[in-house]
Amino acid sequence: MPQKISRAAVFEALDNTVIHGSDSSLMAMKAVKTIDLDEGRLQISIRLQETYKEQESAIQDQLRTAILAIPGVEHIDLVFEWEKVPNTAGFEPHDLLPTVKHVVVVGSGKGGVGKSTIAANIACVLARKGYQVGLMDADLYGPSMGMMFGVDSSTGSPMTSPGGAIMPIEKYGLKLMSMGFLIDEDQPIIWRGPMLNKALSQFMTEVDWGELDVLFIDLPPGTGDIQISLVNSVNVNGAIIVSTPQDIAFLDAKKAIGMFRAVQVPILGVIENMSSFICPNCSFESPIFGRGGVRRATQSMNLQFLGEIPIDMQIRTTCDTGAPIAAIHPDSQQGVIFSDIAKKVENALSLSIRQD
């Protein structure tokens, strides 16, 4: 009588098969559709996004080696199905920002890690250097760029050109657009998907961004359809990932990394925010959330580590009062941190000042 195959052993083999570019297993990605056992024969059906299709041979080899080592397995059939990356958020699949040389998205996989503060300060550094820079706040549920730049619906609502285009707000050498410029700060956004998608599409197609060297897009938290469709609708040249030091926070950052790799967006690097706390009285530095974990994880994934940013009162207060520290105190200790990170982004994009 044939030996009974252990389903637990099969699940373990599938869970140990990691897809390069996502750093997640077949089980974690919910890619295993069916497992059929018939005495010593085993058939497994796997469905993955077509961006991983080039890995089919490597996945097959890894699975065959692991599963054929399970007692009772005499033969294995692997059936692969490939699906296109969805474009369900309503954007047209073409470049909606033809006058922008480089588009950089800033994401995190979760909220509350400080990506808006980082996007604002990096953008300010490059604008001070003479680049034409734009900053789009795509977090429509929680727009924060208005507060960070001292602009709200009562003091700086965008104007329209004679042709009907929306003119971005200009401050500190940046062109800015945020939902916070259009609504009262205490007005909740209760729109559902189609309305959000239309607003984001308008930010790209109906805003007169002009000729830009780089446009930073501060993405909303998460790795859902809106994020995927947004990066599919423009020619994104790179992504910056922001994480706090805790291991559990980097798990969400890894989801963002996997999403960008799945849609073939180059990852410019990873930033560890809130890497330590600097006492405003004695300047003692304490790594209250741990430190160095993001750097080590980034290096193990063959990604560039862009830098560490501490929890600092001046970074917080300057953004809260509408003047990012990289714009008003570029030579401060905090300003130099953002300058060093921006330099790495500049090099990764091979930016050069326009010679008009």
**Confidence band, pLDDT 50/70/90 cuts, at residue 298:** confident
Alpha carbon of 260 to those of 33, 300, 350, 352: distances in Å? 24, 17, 20, 25
pLDDT at 17: 85
Q: Which residue has the higher pLDDT, 303 or 111?
A: 303
pLDDT at 90: 46
Question: Strand 133-137 vs strand 169-171: parallel, antiparallel, or unpaired?
Answer: unpaired
State percent of the chain over pLDDT 70: 85
pLDDT at 190: 47
Q: Mind listing the pLDDT tens digit for each residue in 219-271?
A: 887 666 667 767 777 888 999 999 988 877 788 888 888 878 877 789 999 99
Using the predicted structure, report yes or no on whether residue 338 has a pLDDT greater than 90.
yes
Q: For domain 7-83, which CATH number applies: 2.40.50.100, 3.30.300.130, 3.90.1110.10, 3.40.309.10?
A: 3.30.300.130
Query: Can you give the length of the chain in residues?
Result: 356
pLDDT at 88: 44
pLDDT at 230: 75
User: How many Cα atoms are found within 13 Å in the side-chain-facing hemisphere of 196?
Assistant: 21
Q: Which amino acid is at 119?
A: A
Q: Report the mean per-residue pLDDT for the chain.
A: 82
List the one residue out of 93, 96, 119 whose CA is nearest residue 107: 119
Q: Mind listing the pLDDT tens digit for each residue in 70-121?
A: 888 888 999 988 876 554 444 444 567 888 999 999 988 777 788 999 999 9
Domain 7-83 and domain 100-349, same fold? Reply is no
Using the predicted structure, report yes or no on whether residue 188 has a pLDDT greater than 60.
no
Average pLDDT in the 137-153 region? 78
**Confidence band, pLDDT 50/70/90 cuts, at residue 306:** very high
User: How many Cα atoms are found within 13 Å in the side-chain-facing hemisphere of 293?
Assistant: 21
pLDDT at 341: 97
pLDDT at 141: 66
Mean pLDDT is lowest, of 134-138, 186-190, 277-281, 295-299, for: 186-190
Task: Report yes or no on whether pTM surpasses 0.85.
Answer: no
CATH 3.40.50.300 describes domain 100-349: yes
Average pLDDT in the 299-309 region? 91
Q: Which residue has the higher pLDDT, 56 or 163?
A: 56
Q: Is 11 exposed, middle or buried (0-12, 13-18, 19+ CB in 10 A)?
A: middle
pLDDT at 240: 96
Q: Is 290 exposed, middle or buried (0-12, 13-18, 19+ CB in 10 A)?
A: middle
pLDDT at 93: 46
Per-domain residue ranges for the chain? 7-83, 100-349
Average pLDDT in the 28-42 region? 82
